[in-house]
Structure 1
Protein backbone atom coordinates (compact mmCIF):
# COMPACT_ATOMS: atom_id res chain seq x y z
CA UNK A 1 0.00 0.00 0.00
CA UNK A 2 2.81 2.40 0.89
CA UNK A 3 4.58 1.71 -2.41
CA UNK A 4 1.50 2.87 -4.34
CA UNK A 5 1.29 6.06 -2.31
CA UNK A 6 5.02 6.76 -2.77
CA UNK A 7 4.80 6.17 -6.52
CA UNK A 8 1.73 8.40 -6.80
CA UNK A 9 3.45 11.16 -4.83
CA UNK A 10 6.59 10.86 -6.96
CA UNK A 11 4.48 11.16 -10.12
CA UNK A 12 2.60 14.17 -8.67
CA UNK A 13 5.91 15.82 -7.71
CA UNK A 14 7.26 15.31 -11.23
CA UNK A 15 4.10 16.86 -12.72
CA UNK A 16 4.26 19.81 -10.32
CA UNK A 17 7.94 20.54 -10.98
CA UNK A 18 7.27 20.32 -14.72
CA UNK A 19 4.41 22.80 -14.38
CA UNK A 20 6.66 25.15 -12.37
CA UNK A 21 9.33 24.95 -15.10
CA UNK A 22 6.73 25.76 -17.78
CA UNK A 23 5.44 28.71 -15.73
CA UNK A 24 8.98 30.03 -15.19
CA UNK A 25 9.70 29.79 -18.91
CA UNK A 26 6.46 31.64 -19.67
CA UNK A 27 7.34 34.27 -17.07
CA UNK A 28 10.78 34.78 -18.63
CA UNK A 29 9.18 35.18 -22.07
CA UNK A 30 6.69 37.73 -20.71
CA UNK A 31 9.49 39.66 -18.96
CA UNK A 32 11.46 39.73 -22.21
CA UNK A 33 8.41 40.94 -24.14
CA UNK A 34 7.80 43.65 -21.54
CA UNK A 35 11.43 44.82 -21.79
CA UNK A 36 11.05 45.13 -25.58
CA UNK A 37 7.76 47.03 -25.26
CA UNK A 38 9.36 49.38 -22.70
CA UNK A 39 12.27 49.96 -25.07
CA UNK A 40 9.97 50.91 -27.94
CA UNK A 41 7.93 53.17 -25.65
CA UNK A 42 11.15 54.89 -24.52
CA UNK A 43 11.97 55.62 -28.16
CA UNK A 44 8.47 56.76 -29.19
CA UNK A 45 7.50 58.62 -25.99
CA UNK A 46 10.62 59.49 -23.99
CA UNK A 47 8.66 61.56 -21.44
CA UNK A 48 6.29 58.71 -20.57
CA UNK A 49 6.66 57.22 -17.09
CA UNK A 50 6.19 53.53 -17.80
CA UNK A 51 5.50 52.59 -14.19
CA UNK A 52 2.44 54.87 -14.28
CA UNK A 53 0.77 52.43 -16.68
CA UNK A 54 -1.26 50.19 -14.39
CA UNK A 55 -1.47 46.47 -15.08
CA UNK A 56 -4.73 45.22 -16.52
CA UNK A 57 -6.08 42.41 -14.38
CA UNK A 58 -8.63 40.01 -15.81
CA UNK A 59 -11.51 39.14 -13.53
CA UNK A 60 -14.15 36.84 -14.97
CA UNK A 61 -17.76 38.00 -14.69
CA UNK A 62 -19.94 36.51 -11.96
CA UNK A 63 -22.03 34.77 -14.60
CA UNK A 64 -19.13 32.39 -15.41
CA UNK A 65 -19.30 28.90 -14.02
CA UNK A 66 -16.68 26.54 -12.79
CA UNK A 67 -16.25 23.26 -14.65
CA UNK A 68 -19.46 21.21 -14.45
CA UNK A 69 -21.33 23.75 -12.33
CA UNK A 70 -23.72 24.76 -15.10
CA UNK A 71 -24.59 21.15 -15.94
CA UNK A 72 -25.25 20.28 -12.30
CA UNK A 73 -27.45 23.33 -11.80
CA UNK A 74 -29.48 22.73 -14.97
CA UNK A 75 -29.94 19.02 -14.23
CA UNK A 76 -31.00 19.75 -10.63
CA UNK A 77 -33.59 22.24 -11.89
CA UNK A 78 -34.98 19.65 -14.31
CA UNK A 79 -35.00 16.92 -11.65
CA UNK A 80 -37.16 19.00 -9.32
CA UNK A 81 -39.46 20.36 -12.05
CA UNK A 82 -42.99 18.98 -12.07
CA UNK A 83 -43.38 19.63 -15.80
CA UNK A 84 -41.10 20.32 -18.78
CA UNK A 85 -39.45 23.74 -18.76
CA UNK A 86 -38.35 25.99 -21.61
CA UNK A 87 -34.72 26.93 -22.08
CA UNK A 88 -35.50 30.51 -21.06
CA UNK A 89 -37.30 29.45 -17.87
CA UNK A 90 -34.32 27.31 -16.89
CA UNK A 91 -31.93 30.21 -17.63
CA UNK A 92 -33.95 32.52 -15.35
CA UNK A 93 -33.89 29.91 -12.58
CA UNK A 94 -30.13 29.44 -12.98
CA UNK A 95 -29.60 33.19 -12.63
CA UNK A 96 -31.77 33.37 -9.50
CA UNK A 97 -30.06 30.34 -7.92
CA UNK A 98 -26.63 31.81 -8.53
CA UNK A 99 -27.63 35.12 -6.95
CA UNK A 100 -27.08 37.13 -10.10
CA UNK A 101 -28.88 40.48 -10.42
CA UNK A 102 -32.47 40.43 -11.61
CA UNK A 103 -32.20 39.30 -15.22
CA UNK A 104 -32.54 41.95 -17.90
CA UNK A 105 -33.08 40.92 -21.50
CA UNK A 106 -29.38 41.02 -22.49
CA UNK A 107 -28.08 38.94 -19.57
CA UNK A 108 -31.03 36.54 -19.86
CA UNK A 109 -30.26 36.05 -23.57
CA UNK A 110 -26.62 35.22 -22.78
CA UNK A 111 -27.63 32.78 -20.04
CA UNK A 112 -30.28 31.23 -22.31
CA UNK A 113 -27.62 30.51 -24.94
CA UNK A 114 -25.35 28.97 -22.31
CA UNK A 115 -28.17 26.84 -20.88
CA UNK A 116 -29.23 25.81 -24.40
CA UNK A 117 -25.71 24.66 -25.20
CA UNK A 118 -25.57 22.69 -21.95
CA UNK A 119 -28.95 21.06 -22.65
CA UNK A 120 -28.04 20.12 -26.22
CA UNK A 121 -24.86 18.49 -24.91
CA UNK A 122 -26.84 16.58 -22.28
CA UNK A 123 -29.37 15.53 -24.93
CA UNK A 124 -26.57 14.01 -27.03
CA UNK A 125 -25.48 12.03 -23.96
CA UNK A 126 -29.06 10.89 -23.29
CA UNK A 127 -29.56 12.69 -19.95
CA UNK A 128 -32.36 15.02 -21.11
CA UNK A 129 -34.79 15.23 -23.98
CA UNK A 130 -36.56 18.07 -25.72
CA UNK A 131 -40.33 17.83 -25.97
CA UNK A 132 -41.65 20.52 -28.27
CA UNK A 133 -41.10 24.10 -29.19
CA UNK A 134 -42.94 26.77 -27.25
CA UNK A 135 -42.45 29.90 -29.26
CA UNK A 136 -38.71 30.21 -29.74
CA UNK A 137 -37.60 27.79 -27.02
CA UNK A 138 -37.69 24.06 -26.66
CA UNK A 139 -39.20 22.42 -23.61
CA UNK A 140 -36.87 20.09 -21.73
CA UNK A 141 -37.27 17.26 -19.27
CA UNK A 142 -34.97 14.81 -17.59
CA UNK A 143 -34.84 11.27 -19.04
CA UNK A 144 -36.08 8.86 -16.39
Structure 2
Protein backbone atom coordinates (compact mmCIF):
# COMPACT_ATOMS: atom_id res chain seq x y z
CA UNK A 1 0.00 0.00 0.00
CA UNK A 2 1.30 3.46 -0.81
CA UNK A 3 2.22 5.94 1.88
CA UNK A 4 -0.49 8.34 0.66
CA UNK A 5 -3.23 5.76 1.07
CA UNK A 6 -1.94 4.70 4.48
CA UNK A 7 -1.77 8.32 5.69
CA UNK A 8 -5.27 9.00 4.38
CA UNK A 9 -6.66 5.91 6.12
CA UNK A 10 -4.98 6.88 9.39
CA UNK A 11 -6.38 10.40 9.11
CA UNK A 12 -9.88 9.04 8.43
CA UNK A 13 -9.61 6.71 11.43
CA UNK A 14 -8.55 9.60 13.65
CA UNK A 15 -11.54 11.66 12.45
CA UNK A 16 -13.94 8.80 13.09
CA UNK A 17 -12.64 8.07 16.59
CA UNK A 18 -12.83 11.78 17.39
CA UNK A 19 -16.45 11.88 16.20
CA UNK A 20 -17.25 8.80 18.29
CA UNK A 21 -15.72 10.48 21.35
CA UNK A 22 -17.88 13.57 20.76
CA UNK A 23 -20.97 11.37 20.44
CA UNK A 24 -20.13 9.61 23.71
CA UNK A 25 -19.66 12.96 25.45
CA UNK A 26 -22.98 14.22 24.08
CA UNK A 27 -24.72 10.99 25.14
CA UNK A 28 -23.26 11.32 28.65
CA UNK A 29 -24.48 14.94 28.86
CA UNK A 30 -27.97 13.96 27.67
CA UNK A 31 -28.12 11.13 30.22
CA UNK A 32 -27.13 13.49 33.02
CA UNK A 33 -29.69 16.08 31.89
CA UNK A 34 -32.39 13.40 31.75
CA UNK A 35 -31.59 12.26 35.30
CA UNK A 36 -31.89 15.87 36.51
CA UNK A 37 -35.19 16.30 34.69
CA UNK A 38 -36.56 13.08 36.17
CA UNK A 39 -35.54 14.21 39.66
CA UNK A 40 -37.30 17.55 39.13
CA UNK A 41 -40.42 15.76 37.89
CA UNK A 42 -40.40 13.57 41.03
CA UNK A 43 -40.38 16.75 43.17
CA UNK A 44 -43.62 17.92 41.58
CA UNK A 45 -45.23 14.50 41.07
CA UNK A 46 -43.80 11.84 43.43
CA UNK A 47 -45.86 9.09 41.79
CA UNK A 48 -44.62 9.97 38.26
CA UNK A 49 -43.48 7.00 36.16
CA UNK A 50 -40.76 7.93 33.67
CA UNK A 51 -41.65 5.13 31.28
CA UNK A 52 -45.11 6.64 30.82
CA UNK A 53 -43.56 9.35 28.60
CA UNK A 54 -42.65 7.81 25.26
CA UNK A 55 -39.60 9.06 23.36
CA UNK A 56 -40.41 11.56 20.64
CA UNK A 57 -38.40 10.93 17.49
CA UNK A 58 -38.58 13.40 14.62
CA UNK A 59 -38.48 11.73 11.22
CA UNK A 60 -38.57 14.19 8.35
CA UNK A 61 -40.90 13.30 5.49
CA UNK A 62 -39.40 11.97 2.25
CA UNK A 63 -40.41 15.16 0.49
CA UNK A 64 -37.88 17.23 2.46
CA UNK A 65 -34.79 18.61 0.79
CA UNK A 66 -31.31 19.30 2.00
CA UNK A 67 -30.04 22.85 1.83
CA UNK A 68 -29.83 24.03 -1.79
CA UNK A 69 -31.11 20.76 -3.23
CA UNK A 70 -34.48 22.19 -4.28
CA UNK A 71 -32.88 25.22 -5.94
CA UNK A 72 -30.50 23.04 -7.92
CA UNK A 73 -33.32 20.77 -9.04
CA UNK A 74 -35.54 23.67 -10.15
CA UNK A 75 -32.75 25.43 -12.03
CA UNK A 76 -31.58 22.25 -13.74
CA UNK A 77 -35.14 21.56 -14.95
CA UNK A 78 -35.44 25.10 -16.32
CA UNK A 79 -32.04 24.90 -18.03
CA UNK A 80 -33.03 21.89 -20.14
CA UNK A 81 -36.62 23.02 -20.77
CA UNK A 82 -37.49 23.88 -24.36
CA UNK A 83 -39.78 26.69 -23.23
CA UNK A 84 -41.32 28.28 -20.16
CA UNK A 85 -42.72 25.87 -17.55
CA UNK A 86 -45.38 26.45 -14.95
CA UNK A 87 -44.69 26.13 -11.24
CA UNK A 88 -46.92 23.05 -11.13
CA UNK A 89 -45.10 21.37 -14.06
CA UNK A 90 -41.72 21.90 -12.39
CA UNK A 91 -43.09 20.52 -9.11
CA UNK A 92 -44.46 17.43 -10.91
CA UNK A 93 -41.04 16.83 -12.52
CA UNK A 94 -39.32 17.05 -9.13
CA UNK A 95 -41.82 14.60 -7.64
CA UNK A 96 -41.06 12.19 -10.51
CA UNK A 97 -37.27 12.67 -10.17
CA UNK A 98 -37.38 11.87 -6.47
CA UNK A 99 -39.63 8.86 -6.94
CA UNK A 100 -42.24 10.20 -4.54
CA UNK A 101 -45.81 9.02 -4.75
CA UNK A 102 -47.62 11.35 -7.09
CA UNK A 103 -50.65 12.34 -5.02
CA UNK A 104 -52.28 15.75 -4.61
CA UNK A 105 -50.82 16.38 -1.15
CA UNK A 106 -47.18 15.89 -2.16
CA UNK A 107 -47.73 17.82 -5.39
CA UNK A 108 -49.22 20.78 -3.48
CA UNK A 109 -46.31 20.80 -1.02
CA UNK A 110 -43.77 20.65 -3.84
CA UNK A 111 -45.58 23.37 -5.78
CA UNK A 112 -45.32 25.70 -2.78
CA UNK A 113 -41.64 24.90 -2.35
CA UNK A 114 -40.91 25.36 -6.04
CA UNK A 115 -42.80 28.67 -6.02
CA UNK A 116 -40.71 29.86 -3.09
CA UNK A 117 -37.47 28.91 -4.86
CA UNK A 118 -38.59 30.62 -8.07
CA UNK A 119 -39.50 33.84 -6.28
CA UNK A 120 -36.09 33.89 -4.58
CA UNK A 121 -34.32 33.23 -7.87
CA UNK A 122 -36.39 35.95 -9.58
CA UNK A 123 -35.20 38.46 -6.96
CA UNK A 124 -31.64 37.29 -7.61
CA UNK A 125 -32.16 37.82 -11.36
CA UNK A 126 -31.69 34.17 -12.36
CA UNK A 127 -35.23 33.41 -13.57
CA UNK A 128 -38.19 35.41 -14.79
CA UNK A 129 -41.91 34.84 -14.94
CA UNK A 130 -43.21 35.11 -18.48
CA UNK A 131 -46.99 34.86 -18.31
CA UNK A 132 -49.71 33.44 -16.17
CA UNK A 133 -51.78 30.47 -17.31
CA UNK A 134 -54.59 29.80 -14.91
CA UNK A 135 -53.21 29.71 -11.38
CA UNK A 136 -49.56 29.14 -12.25
CA UNK A 137 -46.89 31.47 -13.58
CA UNK A 138 -44.70 30.37 -16.46
CA UNK A 139 -40.99 30.48 -15.66
CA UNK A 140 -37.77 30.49 -17.65
CA UNK A 141 -34.05 31.02 -17.09
CA UNK A 142 -32.73 34.52 -17.75
CA UNK A 143 -30.24 34.21 -20.59
TM over 0.5: yes
TM-score (norm 2): 0.73
Q: Distance in 1 between matches of 2:26 and 2:122?
A: 37
Question: 2:132 matched to which residue of 1?
Answer: 134
- Note the aligned Cα RMSD (angstroms): 3.3
Divergent runs of 4+, >6 A: none
1:38 maps to which residue? 38
Aligned to 2:101: 100
Secondary structure of 2:130's aligned partner: strand
Runs of at least 5 residues in structure 2 that lack an aligned partner in the other structure: none
- Contiguous gaps of at least 5 residues in structure 1: none
Task: Output aligned runs, 1:36-115, within 5 Å.
Answer: 36-66=36-66, 69-71=69-71, 73-75=73-75, 77-78=77-78, 81-97=81-97, 98-104=99-105, 108=108, 110-115=109-114
Cα shift at 1:142: 5.1
Quote the Cα distance in structure 2 between the aligned partners of 1:73 and 1:3: 40
Q: Is residue 70–residue 115 contact of structure 1 (8 Å, CA) maintained in 2?
A: yes
Instruction: Give, in whole Å, the separation in 2 of the partners of 1:76 and 1:93.
Output: 11
Aligned length: 140
C-alpha contact 1:84 1:140 (8 A) present in aligned 2: yes
CA separation in 2, counterparts of 1:13 and 1:118? 39
Pair 1:138–1:10, CA change in 2 (3 A) = farther
1:139 alignment partner, SS class: strand
Tell me the CA shift for residue 2 of structure 1: 0.8
The structure-2 alpha-carbon separation of the partners of 1:92 and 1:55, relative to structure 1 and needing over 3 Å to count, comes to same
Match of 1:22, SS state, is helix
Shift of 1:82: 3.2
Is the contact between residue 91 and residue 115 of structure 1 (CA under 8 Å) also seen in structure 2?
yes
Q: Secondary structure at the match of 1:60?
A: coil
